[in-house]
A = this chain, B = another copy of it.
Amino acid sequence: VSPAIAKTSDRDIIAAARRLIKQRGADELTLQDVAQAVGIKAPSLYKRFKDRTALLRAVKDDALTELETVLRKAADDHPAPVALKKMAFAYRRFGKRQPEIYRLIYRPELKDATLEPERKAAAPALELMTALLGPRVSLAAARCITSFLHGFVLMEITGNFRLGESVDAAFDFSIEVILNGLMKS
């Protein structure tokens, strides 16, 4: 008896799911669509992922890993204040390029027990804040800038900025405001 040959792989499936989510959003993602994209039938997906949520979680982890890379590359070897700005811009760019993926990252039902990936993605900002302000306020400062970035990106990709004027300018302005405020603290 010859065992069935695998037609696909976990990585293929994750990549296909991610592409579909990027295009249509996670709510529209059907296991049938994913299966079809990798040349199998929906029930076969259950050999590799416990359920739909587990697959979404895998896509999320994939995206979070990429986000961490993007943030670290942006910060590079720049001095802390410059690195912070570059990181902020890179963060926003990531969100704008793949809004549906960005939204996926923060779905509450996708948090797993370990929290490893999200911790890794949050690390770069915290490290920079420590370099800039010292350990006493670094966590609070990281929460400040992180919250702003998250909120701004969501507002922007959800279409909540519709009163005119430049959104780019508002972003630049806000980053200046926050960094100035942090320096004084």
* Chain A residues within CB distance 8 Å of chain B: 27, 106, 108-109, 111, 115, 118, 122, 126, 137, 139-141, 143-144, 146-152, 154-155, 158-165, 167, 169-170, 173-174, 176-182, 184-185
Contacts and interface: CB of A to CB of B under 8 A. Distances in A.
A84 to B, nearest CB: 13
B155 A150 contact: yes
Nearest to A103: B108
Given A108-B159, A162-B115, A182-B177, A169 B140 contact: yes
24 contacts: A106-B158, A108-B158, A111-B158, A111-B159, A115-B162, A122-B163, A137-B173, A139-B163, A139-B165, A139-B170, A140-B170, A140-B173, A143-B155, A143-B161, A144-B174, A146-B151, A147-B152, A149-B151, A150-B150, A151-B152, A177-B185, A178-B178, A180-B181, A180-B185
Is chain A's binding surface mostly helix, strand, loop or mixed?
Answer: helix
Given A144-B174, A144-B177, A148-B151, 10 more contacts: A106-B154, A126-B163, A140-B174, A141-B173, A143-B167, A144-B173, A151-B154, A154-B154, A177-B182, A179-B181
